[in-house]
A and B are shown apart, each in its own frame.
Chain A
Amino acid sequence: MKKQLIAIAALALAAGAQAQSGDTLAKVKATGLITMGVRDSSGALSYTLGDGKYAGYHVEICERIIANVEKSVGRKLQIRYQPVTSQNRIPLVANGTVDIECGSTTNNAARQKDVDFVHTTYVEEVRIATKANSGINGIKDLTNKTVATTTGTTSVQLLRKHERANNVDFKEVFGKDHADSFLLLESGRADAFVMDGQILAGNIANAKNPAEYKIVGEPISVEPIAIMVRKNDTAFKKIANDTVDGLAKSGDIGKLYDKWFVNPIPPKNARLNLPASTATKAAWASPNDKPVEEYLKK
């Protein structure tokens, strides 16, 4: 048993080391296959339509990037969709299982040690969703209220910091995923749900009665969300960056954004009604891969 474990561990290490040394362009040229990491439910950024199909703003941008990769390597590529989770997305990109991750990953300094980020395509604002008749209009109204958020997200950390800095004393409850957290709000177990704006908008759009809920208050925080690629893969990253910069320069990125965040989207043809924020527009105007820490300095 012990020997087997050692063998498995050695194999895993070898596989990791081997994958890290290869560069993506050479790899996809040789195999004709590119693996796109996608999320099942990251709002309009990346979600499943069922039946192994994925759609969303980031999925579509990635498809544009892959089209340019095809031009560069001179052959048609087959896209394999690999669903990833918050827990496994970074290891899967680092060890070569996923070539380009198109979910909803916050670009932060800790992650930049393990992976590279393409230029920011979307700046998330952390907001408060509440029942329309709750009387909550901002973070100061949360005193003595119960606040829901989702396990395994950075919003928990954010709330904790706010609580300590401003002496706003509230109770926290944690859903195991976004749908659960929204259920906490819906069932009255929580008075507010603090999460990324587009996830709140998505859950409200899909609620039984969307008019019962509203998103209130100033953004609690902003987070640059970006497409993730392997570290130190300069040629591949350049194609990805050039694609995003090109979309930004021609203004197509705004049209793409509206397609997913403002207009009705499949499968239910619900509207998120979430126009691009000033922070998102600023990121398009001057393409960069700054981590969240740079955004919070100001």
Chain B
Amino acid sequence: MSWDWQVFCKNTSDGAVEAACWAKGADITYFEWMIHAWGWTLAVAACAWVIAMVVGFSVGVARTLPASPVLTRLANAWVELFRNIPILVQLFLWYFVVPKAFPFFQHVPGFLLVIFALGFFTSARIAEQVRAGIQALSRGQRYAGMAVGFTTAQTYRYVLLPMAFRIIIPPLTSESMNLLKNSSVAFAVSIAELTWFAMQAQEETSRGIEIYIGVTVMYALSAFAVNRVFAFIEKRMRIPGFIVAGTGAGGH
């Protein structure tokens, strides 16, 4: 087995090696194509992350509300629904089954469907972490909020959530990295992201091992970048003497 790393510098129409790995005119090289695919991966992951955080925090909070049993049950149902079905199956439900039942969805682009599928799937997992974070706080925290005359919303906003958020940063980091890696399922519904690129380019070039190594590096770098960003946030948000006491290096 010999290596042929020049495969990344070949253009995609006739396979000629381009100078500086950058093709002229309408042509692109496999390297440019990979960068483009990487952009799709990041776009899918970033949009899905926003949905996952917004929905995850809302549902997680709803599960801990003291006087709203209906809302709590609905939120519990949400979590159990979206975390018990494999992500690939959920994606297919959104892409093929939902449009059959509701013709309106036929005109929704695949990109939107995939970020909602990924976002909802991840939101169920984040909701569980948010619930755990809030319930990990001592009961006195909630009572303190009530004692100073806060409404429920104010208690969450000023007392419970800032503390719970700090507690769950480590699992939230893992979940965000997972989301980035899970975005690879988007290839199954026609999104031209990294995994799709790997499968396609290896067929065209017959240099599968080099292509897969390139894609692996892109995934590893991206997920590690997410990890570093969260480590930074965790460090900046730390309250001295609280939660992760005394290690000085954060939870990572």
With A164-B26, A183-B96, A189-B106 given, is the CB distance from A151 to B187 under 8 Å? yes
B190 touches A160 (CB 8 A): no
Report chain B residues within 8 Å CB of A211.
Answer: none
Which residue on chain A has the smallest CB distance to residue B208? Answer: A87
A174 touches B206 (CB 8 A): no
Chain B 185-199 residues near chain A, CB threshold 8 A = 187-188, 190, 192, 196, 199
Chain A 6-39 residues near chain B, CB threshold 8 A = 13, 16
Produce 1/0 per residue, A172-184, CB < 8 A to B: 1111100010011
B200 touches A152 (CB 8 A): yes
Distance to closest chain B CB from A160 (angstroms): 7
B203 touches A86 (CB 8 A): yes
Cβ 8 A contact of A151, one of B99, B100, B110, B196: B196
Cβ 8 A contact of B192, one of A87, A174, A187: A174
A110 touches B205 (CB 8 A): yes
With A174-B190, A175-B190, A187-B96 given, is the CB distance from A160 to B200 under 8 Å? no
B13 touches A161 (CB 8 A): yes
Distance to closest chain A CB from B194 (angstroms): 12
Produce 1/0 per residue, B1-26, CB < 8 A to A: 10000000000110100000000001
B203 touches A152 (CB 8 A): yes
A-B contact pairs, 13 of them (CB 8 A): A86-B203, A94-B1, A151-B200, A152-B199, A152-B203, A154-B203, A154-B204, A164-B13, A164-B26, A175-B190, A176-B187, A187-B99, A187-B100
A277 contacts partner chain B, Cβ-Cβ < 8 Å: no
Sort chain B's interface into a size bin: 20 to 34
How many Å lie between the Cα of A187 and that of B100 in the bound state? 8
Cβ 8 A contact of B1, one of A13, A156, A157: A13
Report chain A residues within 8 Å CB of B199.
Answer: 87, 151-152
A90 contacts partner chain B, Cβ-Cβ < 8 Å: yes
Which residue on chain A has the smallest CB distance to residue B103? Answer: A188
Which residue on chain B has the smallest CB distance to residue A155? Answer: B203
A212 contacts partner chain B, Cβ-Cβ < 8 Å: no
Report chain B residues within 8 Å CB of A156.
Answer: 200, 204
B13 touches A16 (CB 8 A): no
Which residue on chain B has the smallest CB distance to residue A114? Answer: B206
Produce 1/0 per residue, A84-106, CB < 8 A to B: 00110011001000000000000
Distance to closest chain B CB from A7 (angstroms): 17
A176 touches B188 (CB 8 A): yes
B187 touches A110 (CB 8 A): no
Produce 1/0 per residue, B162-181, CB < 8 A to A: 00000000000000000000
Cβ 8 A contact of B12, one of A16, A87, A160: A160
Distance to closest chain A CB from B97 (angstroms): 9
Report chain A residues within 8 Å CB of B13.
Answer: 160-161, 164
Report chain B residues within 8 Å CB of A87.
Answer: 199, 202-203, 208
B203 touches A16 (CB 8 A): no
A153 contacts partner chain B, Cβ-Cβ < 8 Å: yes
Chain A 176-208 residues near chain B, CB threshold 8 A = 176, 180, 183-184, 187-189
A255 contacts partner chain B, Cβ-Cβ < 8 Å: no
Report chain A residues within 8 Å CB of B15.
Answer: 110
How many Å lie between the Cα of A30 and that of B200 in the bound state? 39
How many Å lie between the Cα of A153 and that of B192 in the bound state? 14
Report chain B residues within 8 Å CB of A114.
Answer: 206
Produce 1/0 per residue, A251-284, CB < 8 A to B: 0000000000000000000000000000000000
Report chain A residues within 8 Å CB of B99.
Answer: 187, 189
Produce 1/0 per residue, A141-181, CB < 8 A to B: 00000000001111011001100100000001111100010
Chain B 153-168 residues near chain A, CB threshold 8 A = none
How many Å lie between the Cα of A111 and that of B202 in the bound state? 12
Report chain A residues within 8 Å CB of B190.
Answer: 172-175, 184
